[in-house]
Structure 1
Amino acid sequence: MQDTTNADTRLALDLALTVRHDGHGGVADDLSDPAGLTAWVRERADALPGCSDFAADETTLGAVRDLRAAVRALFARAVRPGEPSPADAARLLPVPEALTRLNTAAARTPTVPVLHWRDDAEPVVHRQPSPRGTDLTAELAQAAIAFLSGADRRRLRACHAPRCVRYFLKDHPRQEWCKPSCGNRARVARHHERHRKQGEGA
């Protein structure tokens, strides 16, 4: 099936999904160090213009991780009344703090004044993003804002298969899990739980 997810939605989801199940019952963080952030950004150079030779430092890593915490808190709000990802349940930022963090990051885009002067009007100055540089955190924050304010937000769900900590977009009415392997794990877990209860009742 062709992926029709727009670039902002994909970028916002990809940022959230840098927190993932590690395959051993724990949670892994793809952005645990500057090298991890560097690799993650370079893999998305098409969606992040000007970042093909990006190299992260500790300051940028901290800013992106702070932004990710805000995005995941707002994802948890977006999936209500459903439960948030288990990775977030015990450590969610308060929504007002998450909103402030997201909006502050989005405002970091450097702008320049641009003069417009039509023949039949007075000169007017508008501000537009500077072509000389981009702020990674601002771009990610703006992508998250575009996603959270758009129609795709209503399709967002947290996957509650055993050990999964992912958010996903629901593609069809009966979809409960982020991927088939999670559905299989959930069905096996339910099967074992039913047999355990039957054994207790015998």
Structure 2
Amino acid sequence: MKVEDLEGGGAPALGEPLPIELANATYAVRGRLVDGLQTVEHVAAWFRDNRARFAEQCADADLLATGSEELRATRALRDAIRVLAEAAVRGGTPPRQAVEVINGQVRAAARWRELSWADGPSVRARSATTSVVAALAEIAQRAVDFFGGDRIGDLRACQAPGCVLYFVKDHPRREWCSAGCGTRARAARHYERTKAAR
């Protein structure tokens, strides 16, 4: 099998920060929750689709070798980030266990930067683990930076009916994760107004 042939789990790619993008791998279709990371293949495809966003890109061999441990770790990190996102949006305190999952994942991969001089000076991210485990650690580190930083106040839950996605509000008028959700929300409001007028 080739990396290009991996079947994804259908999670929408919204261009959000990586921790939020991973959290959004749980999404809704017609009001029903869908797990976009149901299988090892879904996890490998998610990392393939996002690999350009990592300091150390996930190698094809590592993606094809993704197994049940990476599936478990990715889903645990995703679920912990969703718990933190929900707490942040509601103004509450997340359970300690969710915070520890993220901190544990940060510690899971020893990472460093190396100087390379093949075609001139450049810096490469390196890791003592597979590139998938290093990518998980990078997502966890970015989650630490996001939830511990200034942008946490910009995190929002999508207000469209039935949507369970999160987004970072980058425009004062943005209230939905995507244009499609905005259209559905406006259509639902219009329907309610016209129904009440009858």
Q: TM-score range by the shorter chain?
A: 0.7 to 0.9
- Report what 2:104 is aligned to: 104
- Report what 1:39 is aligned to: 45
Match of 2:78 among 63, 68, 76: 68
- What is the SS of the residue equivalent to 2:176? coil
| Aligned residue-pair number | 165
Match of 1:13 among 4, 7, 20: 20
Letter of the structure 1 residue corresponding to residue 162 of structure 2? R
8 Å contact from structure 2 (residues 83, 94) kept in 1: yes
- What is the SS of the residue equivalent to 1:152? helix
- What is the SS of the residue equivalent to 1:27? strand
Give unmatched runs, 5+ long, in structure 1.
1-6, 83-92, 113-128
The CA distance in 2 between the partners of 1:169 and 1:20, in whole Å, is: 16
TM-score (structure 2 length as normaliser): 0.73
- Report what 1:59 is aligned to: 69
Q: 1:144-183 residue pairs with structure 2 within 5 A?
A: 144-183=143-182
- Report what 1:133 is aligned to: 129
Give unmatched runs, 5+ long, in structure 2.
1-14, 113-124
- Report what 1:119 is aligned to: none
The CA distance in 2 between the partners of 1:80 and 1:71, in whole Å, is: 14
In our comparison, the structure showing a higher alpha carbon Rg is: 1
> Compared with structure 1, are the counterparts of its residues 16 and 111 closer, same or farther at alpha carbon in structure 2 (3 Å cutoff)?
closer
- What is the SS of the residue equivalent to 2:151? helix
The percent of aligned pairs where both chains have the same amino acid is 38
8 Å contact from structure 2 (residues 163, 181) kept in 1: yes
Letter of the structure 2 residue corresponding to residue 95 of structure 1? P
Letter of the structure 1 residue corresponding to residue 164 of structure 2? V
> Compared with structure 1, are the counterparts of its residues 65 and 173 closer, same or farther at alpha carbon in structure 2 (3 Å cutoff)?
same
> Compared with structure 1, are the counterparts of its residues 146 and 94 closer, same or farther at alpha carbon in structure 2 (3 Å cutoff)?
closer
Deviation at 1:150, TM superposition (A): 2.1
Alpha-carbon RMSD: 2.6
